[in-house]
Structure 1
Amino acid sequence: MLGNGDLILRYLEHLGVEYVFGVPGGSIEPFYDALARSERRGGIRAITARHETGAAFMAEGYARETGKIGVCCSTAGPGATNLLTGVASAYADGIPMLVITAQTALDRFGQGSFQDTSCTGIHTVEMFAKCTRYNTLISHPAQLETKLLQAVSHAMGNQPGPAHLGIPLDVMRHRIPDNEIDATLNAFTNHEVAPSDHSTKSALNELESARKVTLVLGEGASEASELLVRLAEARDWLMVTTPRGKGLIDSFHPLYRGVFGFAGHESASDALREDSADLVVAIGTALDEVSTSGWDPTTILSERLIHISNNPVDLSRSTMARLVVLGSPKLLFESISNALGVDSVSQSNRSVFYNDRLPANTRFDDPEKCFDRSGPIKGQTLMTYMSRICPQNTRVLMDAGNSFLWGIHYWNIHRPMNMHPGANHFHIGLGFAAMGWAIGTSVGMASANPDHPVVCFTGDGSYLMAGQELTTALQENLNILMVVLNDSSLGMVSHGQKLSGGEQLATRLPRVDFSMIARALGVESYRIETMEQFADLDIKGILSRPGPCLLDVIVDGDQVPPLGSRIKVLTSSIQTHE
């Protein structure tokens, strides 16, 4: 006889899941018993985070790297509430995740059980209601199988995101015969929707007659990205990406003009204005603050917009557009390419020339500082240098704060010729922008694919929040390079206060030697104060061997990151309410 935890794991195995990320505890123990049985037979294995928020971030990293559903779990009470920030982050970025939290036994609901999170206690199912695509309490063992499949179907649908199952102790412990676990039922996970014939013809008519077109690739354009590049080359269309779409186009492609939106490039804004684009075609983007440069009406948000997405929620924001198309961008542009006589199968035919300088067609805020090795290490220099020396298969994550500002603007993408068209090696958690997001997510990503190096850029403030997850990477012997931007400050907040005219308050941090902390944990580490010291490091060697390494990089806190669009939104809100 096995338990319901075994049933859950057998279904997840059918989906190709390899790990469950979590922290054990009393009420979730039957599920960990099932994980122990699974590991003994070579099945799904538990990876233990140091905090449940980190477990949720790890599940997100696993999902980002594999395209499978990420799975995290927690015990009742604070275990469940600790998961919330990580689950909300996955919800904001549309990451498919199965979230399993424990409840006390059903017959103890309302009796003041230890860590009671039932509907009569601290009601965690209600807490998850607004940051999940599916959310339910399993109130009877007979519900488990059906609700599990419904959860997976919602998580991996056209509006992907986390699905939550609250499972009481006695329901998880419920015994079932081994022969009942045959996984004959299947979750509905194939959601590719073909655009209507009318929408396809309308889009073709618009694009055929337009003289100047600029494509905007968001994260939802990933599967169509290679096709879109070929189409742009054939028609001489310009291309930009949103911050979340960064990485889908090689930074050195001659038709690429950079990132538009949060921490973006002026050259991308120019490519979207009326004198450069008769039509702006936005693909797979939510048209939120960060992807529209604070809802700028002179660029994306105009009557020149054609908006294409698999996600109907994205399209609900494009009320000003001349055309919206619901459906798979890949299917739509395959039809359009064929109609325009563009080969939708062959490789890109426009050569990409790399050099030791910056991409020629992208306008950077401070290009001269990208190669300035004098004095303290500058964020501009660090990102330019690291993006040039890291192997092309490196997965790169930028944490909330100055890290993702510097990374969005100054990290240059090199896409190898054999890279899968839908793959993206550049990652930011920009939807919810949780500090410490990149730390846990890098652990999940490295777990999913230990053969490729992972580089995580984080700030000292974020590392003080979540740096303990590095010990999970140590325990799992994962190839992660943790780069801590150390300026003894909550840097993004501090610069934001200065630029918006706010009070200078509560942003100073103590001087911490993170390399010493890492060594105390048993992790290889280095403290870097100059670019000369950086150049002496064998970064490629570090990234070629298993196990984590930490770089404590003392950065120039006086350098102002590209915060312009964010400050514009903050100050306009202040002016509106005065």
Structure 2
Amino acid sequence: MQLTGSQILVECLKEQGVDTIFGYPGGSVLNIYDELYRHQDEIRHILTSHEQGASHAADGYARSTGKVGVCLATSGPGATNLVTGIATAYMDSVPMVAITGNVTVNLLGKDSFQEVDIAGITMPITKHNFIVKDVNKLADTLRRAFKIAQTGRPGPVLVDIAKDVTANKAEYMKEEIPPIERIKDTITEEDINTALAMIKEAKKPMIFVGGGAVISDADQELKEFVYKVDAPVTDTLMGKGAFSGEDPYYTGMLGMHGTKTANLSVTQCDLLITIGARFSDRVTGNAQKFAKNAKILQIDIDPVEINKNVIVSHCIIGDVKEVLKILNDKIEQHDNKEWVNQVMEMKKQFPLKYHPEVLTGPYILEKLYEITGGDAIITTEVGQHQMWSAQYFKYKKPRTFITSGGLGTMGYGLGACIGAKVGNPDKIVVNIAGDGCFRMNMNEIATAARYHIPIIQIVFNNHVLGMVRQWQSLFYGQRYSHTTLNDSVDFVKLAEAMGAKAYRITKKEEAEEIIKEAISLNVPVVLDCQIASDDKVWPMVAPGAAIEEVFTEEDLQAKK
């Protein structure tokens, strides 16, 4: 049947099972929005306060559900406002399709009003992108975009559509979309057997889990593998929840703000089994000294990640879930009790600590974990609050900790929180922010209020840019250059003005009751939590140092 480009677009979205789009209208996408109006009972559109909020919401929706997130913006500044969100999704391998409008075909390349080469701009931060100038190619392009976004290592794909394409007509025929097949043809028997031999030979194995284990939904296979290998587990920021933070074999996060136990165990192990992690510099510290006593076995879907940051002894290329299935079928039960007990003793010796006498970020997170029983989705912005969220809330399941790991995007969490709540309406969804991050995109509280999306926004308000100040304190002679937020912004009044409920917490005794009330209200709530300006994230590894040089506040004081 003959349909307009806008009708074809909506039909293709329905083919893909898209139920929600986050976006902001404008001239180049008016035809698309007119069609969405006709299909509002099938596809929900969330109008965000800013296009960046739309891209982060699509990202949060994708990470929390495993589906493709979709965002939509007009040409020019509308499209460029998506760029930070697209780059965020690219760095963390998030399946997302960003759809932008552009000027009509005859105006392309002429510096027309609100024209920008968004495909050129986003080329380095997308898995692929398309410019559609012919309505006859629109349906196939959209289908390819969704397939590319989900196949193998996921990532964002951009589809830029000229405005006249959305009005022109072409023949459309509905297609049944086959499920995405997992990559397993790269897994060889030889690679599996070599890995099994390495595991058998090891006396002190350590399992290191990254975001790839979350993306592949390999949590059950991972748990079985851990207990068959009989090895302690550490993870990255992106890997949280793939292996339960409540499990006794879990040692905490690895790296710059990882636990002493995890950092020292990786340094002391003789085999590091790395599952879906890319050896980010924030994890490895000094890469030349990383896991210096160990052979490294890396399991990853992307061959580009092998030997990129750290030289490994052996690798298996393929979908993590499929690789672990094969290994679990073949591996014998191992017994590394002596090594496991050694690591467990370290856990007792080096617990995470914070100042218990005053209101702090860690205290609020522990109280939130206690109240929710750990059954919540936590999104974060970027900074100290992000690290505390990784350290003090125990993630039992994958897709429950949603944060910008690779790009470190301040302003990410609130949009992502809205997207996660839309995708998981029955879950408690909480965004943890610092006051610096919250300022960046706090206008999205108005979005949550407009659509009655009952998220909880917790602001750790220390009146400084906390993580940058921490570095200035430790490495820059306490020269606090432009990191003190000494203004009179009142987050409670701002939140109420945007239609949310809001509370201020100034002491520990107030926290539990107010958090419980925020959850019970089932409306958007902002909690302004006043904490000290000089609270720091401990432990820490200095930039350029080996992870075994991890130090705590007590270590620093003893050194002084």
TM-score normalised by the chain length of structure 1: 0.87
Q: Following the alignment from structure 1 to structure 2, what is the Cα–Cα distance between the partners of residues 302 and 318?
A: 17
Q: Which runs of 4+ in 1 moved over 6 A?
A: none
Residue 175 of structure 1 corresponds to which residue in structure 2?
169
- Structure 1: gaps (5+ residues): 118-122, 344-357, 571-578
- Post-superposition Cα deviations, 1:373-422, rounded to whole Å, max 9, x if no partner, equal x34x2223222222222243210012101111221222233x2xxx6xxx
Contact kept? 1:500, 1:567, Cα under 8 Å: no
For these two proteins, the number of residue pairs brought into alignment is 531
2:429 to 454, 473, 484: 454
Following superposition, the deviation at residue 314 of structure 1 comes to 2.2
Matches within 5 A, 1:71-220: 71-117=70-116, 123-176=117-170, 180-184=172-176, 186=177, 189-194=180-185, 195-220=187-212
Match of 2:382 among 392, 395, 400: 400
Alignment CA distance shift 1:293-1:364 (3 Å): farther
1:294 positional shift? 4.9
Q: What is the rounded CA distance, in whole Å, between the counterparts of 1:56 and 1:363 in structure 2?
A: 43
What residue is the counterpart of 1:241 in the other structure? 235
Task: Give the C-alpha shift of residue 475 in structure 1.
Answer: 1.6
Aligned to 1:57: 56
**Is 2:222–2:324's contact at 8 Å kept on the other side of the alignment?**
yes
Question: Of 317, 320, 324, which residue of structure 2 is paired with 1:333?
Answer: 324
Within 2, Cα distance between the matches of 1:114 and 1:235?
61
CA distance in 2, matches of 1:144, 1:364: 57
Are the equivalent residues in 1 in contact too, given 2:501–2:526 (CA < 8 A)? yes
Distance 1:434 1:361, change over 3 A: same
Uncovered stretches (5+) of structure 2, i.e. residues with no partner: 335-343, 547-560
Q: 1:562 aligns with which of 534, 538, 551?
A: 538
**Residue type of the partner of 2:211?**
E
Q: 1:364 to 1:487 in 2, by over 3 A?
A: farther
Cα shift at 1:489 = 1.2
Corresponding residue SS for 2:129: strand
Q: Of residues 229, 251, 259 in structure 2, which corresponds to 1:257?
A: 251
Alpha-carbon shift at residue 230 of structure 1 (Å):
2.6
Given that 1:285 and 1:291 are in contact with CA atoms closer than 8 Å, whether structure 2 keeps it comes out as no
Letter in 2 for 1:431: G
1:491 pairs, out of 466, 490, 502, with 466
Matched, 1:542 2:528: no
Q: Provide the residue aligned with 2:337 in structure 1.
A: none
* 1:378 and 2:360 are equivalent in the alignment: yes
Hey, what does 1:479 align to over in structure 2?
454
Shift in alpha-carbon separation, 1:162–1:566, aligned structure 2, 3 A: farther
In structure 2, what is the equivalent of residue 297 of structure 1? 289
State yes or no: 1:469 paired with 2:455: no
1:8 positional shift: 2.0
Could you tell me which residue of structure 1 aligns to residue 223 of structure 2? Answer: 229
Q: Answer whether contact 2:65 2:399 (CA < 8 A) is retained.
A: no
Matching residue of 1:18: 19
For the 8 Å contact 2:259–2:539, the answer to whether it is kept is no
Report the more deviating stretch, 190-199 or 207-216: 190-199
Residue 392 of structure 2, aligned match among 402, 407, 410: 410
Matched to 1:460, the amino acid is D
Larger RCO, structure (CA 8 Å, separation 6 or more): 2
Q: CA offset at residue 426 of structure 1? A: 1.5
The AA in structure 1 aligned to 2:272 is V
SS in 2 for 1:281: strand
Query: Could you tell me whether the CA contact under 8 Å between 1:405 and 1:562 is conserved in 2?
Result: no
Counterpart CA distance in 1 for 2:474 and 2:58 is 36
Amino acid at match of 1:215: I
CA contact (8 A) 1:152 1:187 kept: no
Measured in 2, the distance between the counterparts of 1:253 and 1:513 equals 41
Asked if structure 2 preserves the Cα contact closer than 8 Å seen for 1:303 and 1:322, the reply is no
Residue number in structure 1 paired with 2:490: 513
1:87 shift after superposition: 0.6
Range with greater deviation from structure 2 (78-87 or 334-343): 334-343
Alignment partners' CA distance in 2, 1:326 and 1:156: 17
C-alpha spacing 1:270/1:198, structure 2 compared with 1 (3 Å)? same
State the shift of 1:225 in Å: 2.6
SS class of match (1:361): helix
CA distance in 2, matches of 1:46, 1:142: 26
- 1:55-80: per-residue Cα shift (whole Å, max 9, x none)? 00000011012111111111111101
Q: Residues 415-461 of structure 1, C-alpha deviation per residue, up to 9 Å, x if partnerless?
A: 2xxx6xxx331222111111110111001111111111101001111
Whether the aligned pair in 2 keeps the contact of 1:102 and 1:166 (CA below 8 Å) is yes
Structure 2 distance, partners of 1:4, 1:557, is 54
CA RMSD, aligned part only? 2.4
Amino acid at match of 2:220: E
Q: Deviations over 1:330-356 (max 9, x none)?
A: 22222222223469xxxxxxxxxxxxx
Provide the secondary structure at the position in 2 that maps to 1:71.
Answer: strand
CA contact (8 A) 1:294 1:566 kept: no
* CA gap 1:408/1:234 in 2 versus in 1, 3 angstroms: same
Shift of residue 176, structure 1, vs aligned partner: 3.9
> Cα gap change, 1:57/1:566 in structure 2, threshold over 3 Å: closer, same or farther?
farther
Query: SS at 1:436's partner residue?
Result: coil
Give the 3-state SS of the residue equivalent to 2:100 in structure 1: strand
